[in-house]
Amino acid sequence: MTAGLPYVVWMAPTSWDGIPGTDRALAMALTRYARVLWVDPPVSAVSPRRLRGEVSGRLIPTLREIDDTIVRLTPVALPGMTRPGIRVTTAPLLRAQVRWALRRPGIRPFAVVAGYLEDLLGYWGDAVNVLYSTDDHVAGAELMGLSADRIRAQERQAAARANVVVVVSPHLAEHWAALGSTRPVLIPNGSLPPYASGLPPQPTVSDMPGPVIGLIGQLTQRIDLAVLTAVADAGYSLLLVGPYDSRWEREGFAALTARPNVRYAGRVPAEAVPSYLASIDLGLIPYADSAFNRASFPMKTLEYFSAGLPVVSTDLPGSRWLRDSLASFDAAHADQLMALTSDPVEFVAAVRRLAGAPGAGTEVQGEPLLADRAQAFAAEHSWTRRADALAAAIGLRTASPQPDPAGVS
């Protein structure tokens, strides 16, 4: 099925074994057009096990097939690869290992996609150099413990070398245009089909009084704890699902999750997420209004819609773009499906409007029509369609796409 398809090299910021995110979803969807060499970020023998994943202890690069469309390369680097002096060797070693992986089957890549800002573009002959920007790394430098000055230098270099800059939010489009990139291509995050099995899952949590208000995602300092506290203060059942960063609001988070109307499920496997989505009646996107968040495009919003849920979100540019798109798609139901808010008081008022009063049960959520409209809107923003846009942007438009394995167009 994939014979004759071109290759795209995808330099990913996270390991294939990590939490599935934007890069992995888009790369998988792109396999309708091309085979993908997925390149994990480099690890060393002393990298933490959580970063090394299944290749723990390896001292040489490893190649293995994920399926007949994706080959995964896990490169290695020197111990201390992020330290000055050693850091200068990391990108050259990574590029050399990618060349090794390409030489084995004699591949000349059609395109090379860099999902982060190391010195990766401009070394691949006539391949299309693509920068895929999902975050404002300068704004997030402190959050990630990185040098803002070094990131600025990396951005200038990447802008000069990229043939195509792809961004996930309007804010990032403005950011890269200011750096000299000609017409950055806006391809927001996408949505997966609601149920892989085709059947709605059974709720994991069924003993909390409805309506149940949920936040499913990473719990970090990007989240406004005051919003979650206000929802709990209003008497709603609050379900929190996802990994917790202990550096964020340790005492406040402990106090919140100790309340009788709040339940924290912790990190759960990806395959369990649909059952938790089936346990809630409304999804929250309670991001703090920060420079880093203003550049983001929360994937979770579309995941809520894909599960047929209404959403209350912070009024940030990415969310505003999606709300405008929803209004264009379904003006009659947009106000019942998504609300944008600016402070905890507005959040609670919007939750009450979309989900009903605390303890009123789940029947107040509305008609099945609303869930159908939410899912239809999510399907308009599928990862398949995002991959179609990427293929067109980098010149894969003339390829004959393979059938969509998820059955979503």
pLDDT (tens, 9 = 90+) of the chain, 409 residues, equals: 456 799 999 999 999 988 788 999 999 999 999 999 999 999 886 655 544 455 445 578 999 999 999 999 999 988 866 677 777 888 999 999 999 999 977 889 999 999 999 999 999 999 999 999 999 988 877 766 778 888 999 999 999 999 999 999 999 999 999 998 888 999 999 998 876 656 778 999 999 999 999 999 999 999 999 999 999 999 999 999 999 999 999 999 999 999 999 999 999 998 899 999 999 999 999 999 999 999 999 889 999 999 999 999 999 999 999 999 999 999 999 999 999 999 999 999 999 999 999 987 765 444 678 999 999 999 999 999 999 999 999 999 654 555 555 444 3
Name which CATH class applies to 212-380: alpha beta
Residues of the chain with CATH 3.40.50.2000: 7-190+382-394, 212-380
pTM here is 0.87
Determine the pLDDT at residue 146.
74
Cβ 163 vs Cβ 145: under 8 Å:
no
Determine the pLDDT at residue 333.
95
Alpha-carbon span 1 to 362, nearest angstrom: 46
Helix (H), strand (E), coil (C) string for 132-177: EECCCCCCCHHHHCCCHHHHHHHHHHHHHHCCEEEECCHHHHHHHH
Determine the pLDDT at residue 52.
47
Q: Which tokens go with 257? A: 């999750």
Q: Widest CA span of the chain, in angstroms? A: 63
Alpha-carbon span 27 to 34, nearest angstrom: 9
Q: What is the CA radius of gyration of the chain?
A: 22
Cβ 205 vs Cβ 262: under 8 Å:
no
Cβ 285 vs Cβ 317: under 8 Å:
no
Residue 117: CB partners within 8 Å, gap ≥ 6? 137, 151, 154, 155, 158
Amino acid at 6: P
Cβ 382 vs Cβ 190: under 8 Å:
yes
C-alpha separations of 356 from 279, 309, 351 in Å:
16, 13, 7
What is the chain's length? 409
pLDDT tens digits, one per residue of 164-210: 999 999 999 999 999 988 889 999 999 988 766 567 789 999 999 99
Determine the pLDDT at residue 45.
65
Residue 181: CB partners within 8 Å, gap ≥ 6? 131, 159, 162, 165
Alpha-carbon span 228 to 287, nearest angstrom: 10
Q: Which tokens go with 245? A: 């960063």
Residue 332: CB partners within 8 Å, gap ≥ 6? none
**CA triple 30-15-221, angle to 5 deg:** 105
User: What dotted CATH number matches 7-190+382-394?
Assistant: 3.40.50.2000
Handedness of CA 52, 7, 133, 67 (dihedral sign): negative
Q: Which tokens go with 202? A: 């059974």
Cβ 326 vs Cβ 377: under 8 Å:
yes
Alpha-carbon span 135 to 116, nearest angstrom: 9
Determine the pLDDT at residue 148.
85
